[in-house]
Amino acid sequence: MDELDILKKDWKNKDHSFNQITEKEIYGMLHKRSSSIVKWILIISICEFLILRILDISSFFDKSSVKMMEKNHLYNFSLFLTIFNLIVFSGFIIYFYKNFKQISTTSSVKKLMSDILKTRKIVKYYIWYNLILVSITTFFVLNSFFKYNNEINELYEKFPSVFIISSIVIIAFIVFVFWAIYKLLYGILLRRLFNNYQELKKLEI
């Protein structure tokens, strides 16, 4: 049983005069816990941003990678996607940071509840953006590979349905893997954040 659970138990056992003090203490614990959760969301997103964007940018300095992109006519697509992702992910991180600052400084139950809902919403948008990005990127890579690889292109023209089904399976598998990773990274934090919201809702009532 953590500190918040102990406070809640005492709150139920004490008289009404003590309830007013305990409400503030419970709010303080929920406030602190919510701030910590959003901080971890920010930290994880920054780490993810640095690792993936460094890998993206470094590929343009690797001759073999550049050669492979050019061979499969993916260089311009990869360059555009890298720049676009730098902008979009920077926006998400800035938003996460602003949410963290807002939650850290908020002073009312209602405002904290609103900030929690906004944070959960933007994290879900962030996850969906990543899943859509992965599916689109995989589609373009497979399409280029089938189209510009002579040996595979010949097989593709003979058995197009096999390649289409294989592409769908590959894309679905990769999206599932990324979904599972994000579910592990952000799912637990979002559930804890929602639990905090439910506890704050009780205080509002």
Q: Do residues 120 and 194 lie in contact, with contact meaning Cβ atoms separated by under 8 Å?
A: yes
> How crowded is residue 78: how many other Cβ atoms within 10 Å of its Cβ?
20
> Domain residues of the chain, as ranges?
3-204
What is the reported pLDDT for 173?
95
42: closest CA among 111, 99, 127?
A: 99
Q: Do residues 176 and 21 lie in contact, with contact meaning Cβ atoms separated by under 8 Å?
A: no
- Cα–Cα distance for residue pair 197/202, rounded to 1 Å: 9
Q: Could you tell me which residues come within 8 angstroms of residue 73 by beta carbon, excluding any fewer than 6 positions away?
A: 144, 147, 148
What is the reported pLDDT for 12?
53
What is the reported pLDDT for 167?
87
Question: What is the pTM for the complete model shown?
Answer: 0.80
192: closest CA among 35, 23, 72?
A: 35
Q: Do residues 123 and 37 lie in contact, with contact meaning Cβ atoms separated by under 8 Å?
A: no
What is the reported pLDDT for 175?
94
What is the reported pLDDT for 2?
57
| pLDDT in 10s for each residue of the chain, 205 residues | 555 555 555 555 554 444 455 677 778 888 888 899 999 999 999 999 999 889 999 989 988 889 888 888 889 999 999 999 999 999 999 999 998 888 888 767 888 888 888 899 999 999 999 999 999 999 988 888 888 877 777 777 777 788 888 889 999 999 999 999 998 889 899 999 999 888 888 776 5
